Amino acid sequence: MPRSDWQEVTVTSNGQRIHLRVSGDSGPLVLLCHGFPESSYAWHHQLDALGAAGYRAVAMDMPGYGRSAKLQQPSDYRITELVAYCVGVVEALGESTAVIVGHDFGAPVAWASAWTRPDVFRAVVGMSVPFGARGLAALPGDPFGDVRPTLTHRELAGPGLTFYQDYFADRSGKAEKEIEQDLRTFITSGFYGLSADSPLPPELNGVDLTSLPPEHVIGFVRAAMCVPDGEGFAVNLQSPETLPGWLDHETLDIFIAELEFGGMRSPLAWYTNADLNWEVLAQYQGQPLTVPAMFIGGDRDVATIWSQEARLRAAEYIPDLRGSVIIPNCGHWIQQEHPETVNQELLTFLKGL
């Protein structure tokens, strides 16, 4: 539900307009970075809890989303620029440091921010996607980006399929056209289909999806997150007869209205930079992520499932990993499906800093 006591703030960061939802007037700064296809409102449960606990909680409309600037070139959404926007928001708010938290594509932004700018980001929490170094997405078979991402994508997808990130990145506009022609249905199906409320295939009932053998992980990703030739991404999604209990109509309407206003071109442009991100982060490969860190995933979250290798090998890069939490019966929309658990884990982590 919209909160009248939140502040709606617009700042200039990295030369562009960034819209913020802010809870709490003082206290340590916690910067919240959403993913695709959401907005700062994705953190409405966390804004309330963190603000009430004495933190200055700030949720960004990430560049290209909500009421933030829509950038002209796809390369304007490369990871180093996204990190610069996060740094700029901290500075615009009159602070010198912050804890950064990210979910979905916001998780790689948060990890990269803490990895490359530990002088600003004194701790980090990644949700859904664990640390993937220069590869960002922590993909099976190449969790830390030793291979150019688009090559990994093609091998992961196999013949007759396109990994969803490459489908979204195709600048011919196929994904944009698919989503825009019935935005409400796509977004509703996406929230439901990637949540723990959508039924599993019978053969996966009772299976611990977060510890699948590697070959089964590949099969799972191909079935859930790859697009067959001649099809659209919606073939992987399910439409609900009724909304799940964690997603009310008012919240869904807010997300859809913000996407209708800004359009899908900018959010999809983030995905065009997989190889460019890999190139610009090359200088950091092999360096540890030194600040205190935490990962939160869901046992039914497709990204948590595909990234198990990165999660299990996290100590190779993160010497101060203070927790790796997998929430039961939780799909991709972690902070909304299980807000109380997420809030508790975040507050425990923050109090320990």
In a domain, 223, yes or no: yes
pLDDT of 230 strictly over 50: yes
Q: State mean pLDDT over 220-249.
A: 93
Is 332 part of the annotated catalytic residue set?
Answer: yes
One-letter identity of residue 91: E
Q: Give the CA dihedral 254, 110, 218, 336, nearest 10 degrees.
A: -30
Which H helix or E strand runs over 125? strand 121-127
**Domain range spanning residue 16?**
7-351
Q: What is the pLDDT of residues 274-298, one digit of tens each?
A: 999 999 999 999 999 999 999 999 9
Rounded distance between C-alpha atoms, residue 277 and residue 257, angstroms: 30
Among the listed residues 234, 247, 258, the one whose alpha carbon sits nearest the alpha carbon of residue 186: 234
Is 300 contained in some domain? yes
Looking at residue 3, its pLDDT comes to 59
Q: Is residue 2 part of a domain?
A: no
pLDDT of residue 326: 97
Query: What tokens appear for 225 in the block?
Result: 């997150």
pTM (global) more than 0.95: yes
Mean pLDDT of 51-72: 97
Distance CA 64, CA 17 (A): 10
50-67 per-residue burial string, b: 16 or more CB within 10 A, e: under 16 = bbebebbbbbbbbbbbbb
Q: What does DSSP say about strands 226-228 and 161-163: parallel, antiparallel, or unpaired?
A: antiparallel
Number of domains in the chain: 1
> Among 26-35, 155-164, 197-206, 311-320, which is the least confidently predicted range?
197-206
Per-residue pLDDT at 4 exceeds 70 = no
> Among residues 48, 61, 76, 104, which one is catalytic?
104
Residue range 303-321: average pLDDT? 97
DSSP-derived secondary structure letter, 180: H
Whether 104 sits among the annotated catalytic residues: the reply is yes
Contact 107, 137 (CB under 8 A): no
pLDDT at 1: 45
Tell whether 1 is covered by a domain: no
φ, ψ dihedrals at 325, nearest 5°: -105, 130
Residue 43 within a domain: yes
Query: At 56, phi and psi to the nearest 5?
Result: -95, 95
Tell me the average pLDDT across 157-170. 97
**What's the mean pLDDT when you consider all of the chain?**
95
Q: What is the CATH number of the domain that holds 155?
A: 3.40.50.1820
Residues 6+ apart with CB under 8 A from 59: 20, 21, 22, 32, 34, 40, 41, 42, 43, 46, 47
Q: Mean pLDDT check: name the lowest of 25-34, 150-159, 232-241, 242-251.
A: 232-241
Angle made by CA atoms 102, 113, 124, in degrees to the nearest 5 = 50
**Is the pLDDT confidence value at 150 over 90?**
yes
| β-bridge mates for residue 259, sequence order | none
The residue annotated as part of the active site, out of 103, 153, 332, 338, is 332
